[in-house]
Chains A and B, each alone.
Chain A
Amino acid sequence: MPRFLLLKHYRGGPEHHHPVVPMDQWAPEAVDAHMRFLGETSRMLEESGELVEGQALHPGRVYVQYGGEGAAPVTTDGPYPETSDLVAGWYMVDVESRERALEIAAHVSSGPDQDGNPFHEWIEVRQVMDGSDPGEA
C-alpha cells in the first residue's frame, strides 16, 4: 500500500525526446483533448481503487522567506533559471507496488500532444513517506 506522487511539469526535468510546444500555443481542441485525457485518467484510477487525489497548479509562483522578528515576509518572484522545475499538477496514488506506480506514470505520459500523438512528457515519481512503525523484536 505504498503511496506515490506522480508529478506533471510545465518545464524542467530530463531533456525531452522531441521539441515541446507549450500548451498555450496548441489548438483549443487539442488542449481540450489533453484535459479530457487527464479527467479520464482520474476516473480510471478511482475505478481501480488507487486514486488518492489529483490536482492542477497555476503556473504563477512566488518564493517566500521568514523576514525576521516583526518584519514582513521576504518574497521574490524571480527571475529563475530557464530550466528550473515548474510543477503543473499531480496524481497521488495508493498502489500495490512501485512497479504499478511507474506503469500509471507511463500512462499519464501517453496523453495526447498538439497533434493528437502521445505526448511522451517526463513524469516525476516520488514515494510518500508513511507513518508506519518499522517494528522491533
Chain B
Amino acid sequence: MGTVDDDLLRTLVPQVIGVLVRRGNDFATAEDAVQDALVEAVRVWPQAPPAHPRAWLLTVAQRRLVDVRRSEAARRRREEAQAEEPEPGPTEQADDTLLLLTLCCHPSLSPTSAVALALRAVGGLTTAQVAEAFLVPQATMAQRISRAKATIRDVPLDRPGDLAAVLRVLYLVFHTGHRGQVDLAAEAIRLTRQLTLASPEPEVRGLLALMLLHHARDAARWHEGRLVPLDRQDRSLWDTAEIAEGVGLVQSALAQGRPGEYQLHAAIAALHDDAATWEETDWPQVLGWYDDLVALAGNPIARLGRLVALAHAEGPAAALAEHAALEDEVGTTAQFHAVRAHLLELAGDRDGAAAAYSEAAGLTTSAPERDHLVRSAAALRS
C-alpha cells in the first residue's frame, strides 16, 4: 500500500462501520459501503494521502450509501436525517470493535465464514487480501462473505454477543499464520489487543498473552521452511519484548481468580518462554498447570500435552501407562502417536519411537508437521 499507514486504515474500518450503523444503516449495507471506500483508499491514498483519513473514509462510504439508496429510491422513498455527530471517543471505538466482532463471530456462522467476515469488517482487509490469505479465488471469498452477512441479517446490533465465540475465531486467525501479503498472526494479535480495551474479561487477556508468548518464538520455530521443535530452538532468537508483555498479561489475568483455557495455556507457554534452556524447564510447575487445564477443560488434546509434562517431571513409565487409555478417544490423531513417540524416545525405545513417529506422519494433514515427523523417525533409525 505504499505510504498508506496500513494499521491506521484498518483501525478506521470498524469505526466508520460503527458510525454508519448508529446513523440507522443496517450492518450489511454499511459494511459493503465501507469496503468500497477501503478499496478506493488503497487505490488513491498512496498518491494523495488525505488530511483527515477517518473523515475521508466516512465521506466516501456515505456517498456510496447515497448511491445505493438513490437506485432504490424509485420503489422506496425514504428521508434521511443526517445529524452531525461528535467524533467518537476511545470508549465508543472500543465498544464498536466489541459489537462488530461479536456480530461477525455469531454462533450461527461457521468458523470459516466468521473468520472471513471478521477480517473484512473489523480487520479492515480487502476481499482480495482475505481471499489471498485463505488461498481461494476472490469471487469465492466474496460469495462466502455475502452469505455470512445474509445469515446474520436479523441479529440485532445493540449489545455484545458471545465473547467465547470471538476468542475462538481470533485464535483460529492466529493459527492460520502468515500467508499472502497479510500476516494473519500479527492481525489476530492486533484485534485481540483492541478487544482487551473493550472487555475486562481475563480470558481476553489470556488469549492475547498466549498469542504473544507463541509469536515470540516464531523466528526460532521456523528454519528454512522447516519446523524446529521447542527443545532445539535457538532461544536467543526469541522476542523478549513480546515475552515480557505476555508474561505480564497472563499474571494480571490469573490474578483475577477466574482461570480459563487460554489463561492456563498462556501460563504453560510462559514457563517455557521463561526457561533459558530446554533442560531448565520447570516441569513440575508445567505439570501443575496442565493438571488445572485437564480439570477445567478435560479435552483429550490437553491430556496428551499433560502426559509430556508428566513424563519429564516424573518419568516416561507413568505417562506411557496413562497414554494407552486415550487410544479410544484420540487414537486416530497424529498428536496421539507423536506424543507416544516422544514418550517412547524418553524411555529409550528407539524402534518403538520411530514406528510411532511414522504412524503420526501418516495421519497429519500439515505438510511441515509431516516432514518433521518423518525426519524424527529417520533420525531414530539411522
Report which A residues bind B (CB closer than 8 A): 1-3, 45-53, 94, 96, 127-137
Contacts and interface: CB of A to CB of B under 8 A. Distances in A.
Interface string B270-296: 001000000000000010000000000
B137 A133 contact: no
A40 to B, nearest CB: 15
Contact of B367 (A2, A96, A130): A130
A49 B366 contact: no
B218 to A, nearest CB: 9
Interface in B198-238: 214, 217, 221, 227, 229-230
10 contacts: A46-B137, A51-B137, A51-B140, A52-B135, A131-B367, A132-B175, A133-B366, A134-B335, A136-B230, A137-B272
Nearest 9 A-B pairs (CB), nearest first?
Answer: A49-B144, A134-B369, A129-B367, A49-B143, A132-B366, A1-B112, A96-B110, A51-B140, A134-B366
Most B CB within 10 A of own CB, among A130, A132, A136, A137: A137
A130 B227 CA distance: 14
A49 B369 CA distance: 28
Most B CB within 10 A of own CB, among A2, A128, A133: A133
Contacts of B145: 49
Contact of B111 (A51, A53, A96, A131): A96
Interface residues of B, number: 41
Interface string B166-193: 0000000001110100000000000000
B229 A133 contact: no
A32 B227 CA distance: 49
Contact of A133 (B147, B175, B268): B175
B305 interface: yes
A129 B177 CA distance: 15
B121 to A, nearest CB: 16
Contacts of B365: 2, 127-130
